[in-house]
Structure 1
Amino acid sequence: MKLLQTKIPDVIIVELDVYEDHRGWFTETFNETRFHGALLELGLSKPRAFVQDNHSMSHRGVLRGLHFQRAPYAQGKLVRVVRGAALDVAVDIRPSSPTFGQWVSVELTEANNRMLWIPEGFAHGFIALENDTHFLYKTTDVYHKEAEGNIHWNDPDLAIDWPMRDALIVSEKDDQAASFRHHQDTAGEGLVAQTELFKVLGDHRGQLVVLQALDNVPFPIKRVYYLTETLPGVSRGFHAHRELTQLAICVSGRCRMLMDDGTSRSDHWLDAFNKGILIPPMVWHEMHDFSPDCVLLVLADDHYEEADYIREYSEFLDIKNA
């Protein structure tokens, strides 16, 4: 297995090793340990576990996309063509990303034995270049209808270079999708906070993530604590701080952070050892869905002070409204 970064470094071409002789051939299409290790060598986060496999068949000229799911149900996709050929496209729709609004395309065929890894935070689409094109993909979350979104495949601001424009077959739903500009205007709505990825350093011996005050941690660190061995079904938090600023990082396992600024709410998965979320003052926060191996590390800009806590949601709303 060989991993190649595209012009959007988070989108990865996976080239499979094929072993062939007079009987035919064999290839290992997925090995979690090797895949995760190869991503970490590139300084990228390993994905959440794959929980759903999909298989579609498309005739020549069929275009599907651009599709995505909103947080907390965003999907990472590992895609592959096992029969026929397709041009696969990924569009970066992460508002805080330096490649926001950029796209990359890769041709996937039954002959080139390539896959494409598209992490969460991307819109995805493809066009079948041949009849009877079979498209397989693994996803890191199951389908949630209430979280689905789409962007028009022919949006002029994206200017994707689709082939076969005179012979495209597009569903009515995809052809009535919203513009990228609409997505851009609404991408921040309901987002009280966003997760951030920290740079991973490492080699064959292992990985290293550096957290440095007034650098990638935007405050002086005066207190550090961590939550571990949280019992199944237990949720934590349920408070806000008047003045305290914190940074939460799931250094092992995963959990779901609910953030509420009194006007809007948003869910965020902390599911990688280099993914953190800033918790500013006067944001109500809750932690849910702890995995058994979860270790949630929290950095704070001040010492513990009970008077800084707001533990009743009604009081929190009263203060915000005032």
Structure 2
Amino acid sequence: MKLLKTDLQDVVIIEPTVFRDDRGWFFESFNEPRFHDELSKLGLPIPRSFIQDNHSSSQKGVLRGLHYQLAPHAQGKLVRVVSGSAYDVAVDIRKGSPTYGKWVGAELSAENHRMLWIPEGFAHGFVALEDNTHFLYKTTDVYSKELERSIKWDDPDLGIDWPAGADFIISEKDRQASPLKDADLPSLYTPGSTQALTLDIIGDSRGSLIALEKSSQIPFEFRRVYYIFGTQPEVSRGFHAHKDLRQLAVCVSGKCRMLMDNGVTKEEIWLDSPTKGVLINNLVWREMHDFSPDCVLVVFASHEYDEKDYIRNYKEFTNLVAAAAVSNEAV
């Protein structure tokens, strides 16, 4: 498996290793550990696991797109063609992204065996170049009619260079899609950022309940949950950052003061109610102070414990933040 960069940093073309002999050919169409390893080599994030497969058949000229879904059912897609050929397009629609509104296209065919990885936050579409074109794609979330959105395929602000000379066949729903400027779009996930959340209460005369699950409240899959309690008076905790880990912190009892530092600005938030939470992305230095005697701080984490992910030296942290800023400016 070889990953080829495109003009959009997060979108990559995948060329599988094909073994051929006089009988025909064989290749692995998907290998999750190898896929993750190759993404890591390019410094790209590891996606959620694929949980749905789709298969479509299109005649020559059929154009489908540009489609995407909003959180909490945003979809990353790994796409390929197993019969015929198609011109496949991905568009960065993440507000705040340095490549917002940019697109990339690639020809996928049964002959070249190429695949395209399109992460969450990108719109996707394709046009069939041959009759009986079969298109397969794996998705990181299930289909949601309520959260499905479309952008007009020929939006002049995008200027997609679709193949010339085709008599496009387009569904009425896709013809009615919004232009990019009017579309309901996702925001860019930004390392070094925090977000205060108000958690929804489910309750009646008997009392209250708050349910936390992967949704708009926790915009990542959490793989570890831990809680801090019994902290002694005058003790502060934290004093570290994480390279990749993302967290949601909630005081389910008592209170504490959270100090968060992204290397440029600092922010304080009091967690003093079970209805308050703070979403802490990676590359945020965090400290926890002023624990009340009855404080129970619960933390939902995106990954299992890994000491190599910790940044425990503040100077090392600021150096990493500065290096990340230079890298973003170069994109």
Q: TM-score range by the shorter chain?
A: 0.5 to 0.7
Amino acid at match of 1:122: F
Contact 2:59-2:132 within 8 A present in 1 as well: yes
- Does 2:244 match 1:274? yes
Give 1:136 deviation, angstroms. 0.3
Contact 2:18-2:26 within 8 A present in 1 as well: yes
Give 1:286 deviation, angstroms. 5.4
Q: Secondary structure at the match of 2:36?
A: helix
Name the CA distance, whole Å, in 2 between partners of 1:158 and 1:275: 34
- Does 2:129 match 1:129? yes
- Does 2:105 match 1:105? yes
In structure 2, the partner of 1:152 is 152
After superposition, the Cα gap between the structure-2 partners of 1:258 and 1:119, relative to the gap in structure 1 and judged at 3 Å, is closer
Contact 1:75-1:141 within 8 A present in 2 as well: yes
Gaps of 5+ in 2: 201-212, 224-242, 250-266, 298-331
Give 1:275 deviation, angstroms. 5.7
Aligned Cα root-mean-square deviation (Å): 3.4
Name the CA distance, whole Å, in 2 between partners of 1:171 and 1:275: 42
After superposition, the Cα gap between the structure-2 partners of 1:177 and 1:42, relative to the gap in structure 1 and judged at 3 Å, is same
In structure 2, the partner of 1:256 is 214
In structure 1, the partner of 2:190 is 196
Q: Secondary structure at the match of 1:7?
A: coil
> How many residues end up aligned between the 2 structures?
239
Q: Secondary structure at the match of 1:116?
A: strand
Contact 1:79-1:117 within 8 A present in 2 as well: yes
5 Å matches for 1:304-319?
A: 304-306=290-292
In structure 2, the partner of 1:22 is 22
Give 1:72 deviation, angstroms. 1.2
In structure 2, the partner of 1:300 is 286
Q: Secondary structure at the match of 2:117?
A: strand
Name the CA distance, whole Å, in 2 between partners of 1:282 and 1:150: 40
Given candidates 184, 187, 191, the residue that maps to 2:185 is: 187
Name the CA distance, whole Å, in 2 between partners of 1:81 and 1:187: 28
In structure 2, the partner of 1:46 is 46
Name the CA distance, whole Å, in 2 between partners of 1:23 and 1:96: 51
Amino acid at match of 2:157: D
Amino acid at match of 2:185: A
Give 1:300 deviation, angstroms. 3.2
Amino acid at match of 1:274: D
Name the CA distance, whole Å, in 1 between partners of 2:81 and 2:48: 22
Give 1:58 deviation, angstroms. 0.3
Amino acid at match of 2:145: K
Which of 1 and 2 has greater Rg? Answer: 2
Give 1:99 deviation, angstroms. 0.6
Give 1:113 deviation, angstroms. 1.1
TM-score, normalisation: structure 1? 0.66
In structure 2, the partner of 1:80 is 80
In structure 2, the partner of 1:92 is 92
After superposition, the Cα gap between the structure-2 partners of 1:6 and 1:298, relative to the gap in structure 1 and judged at 3 Å, is closer
After superposition, the Cα gap between the structure-2 partners of 1:171 and 1:303, relative to the gap in structure 1 and judged at 3 Å, is same
Contact 1:11-1:119 within 8 A present in 2 as well: yes
Q: Secondary structure at the match of 2:146?
A: helix
After superposition, the Cα gap between the structure-2 partners of 1:10 and 1:298, relative to the gap in structure 1 and judged at 3 Å, is closer
TM-score, normalisation: structure 2? 0.64
In structure 2, the partner of 1:163 is 163
Name the CA distance, whole Å, in 1 between partners of 2:105 and 2:27: 24
Name the CA distance, whole Å, in 2 between partners of 1:195 and 1:257: 15
Name the CA distance, whole Å, in 1 between partners of 2:222 and 2:190: 12
Amino acid at match of 1:146: E
Name the CA distance, whole Å, in 2 between partners of 1:99 and 1:271: 28
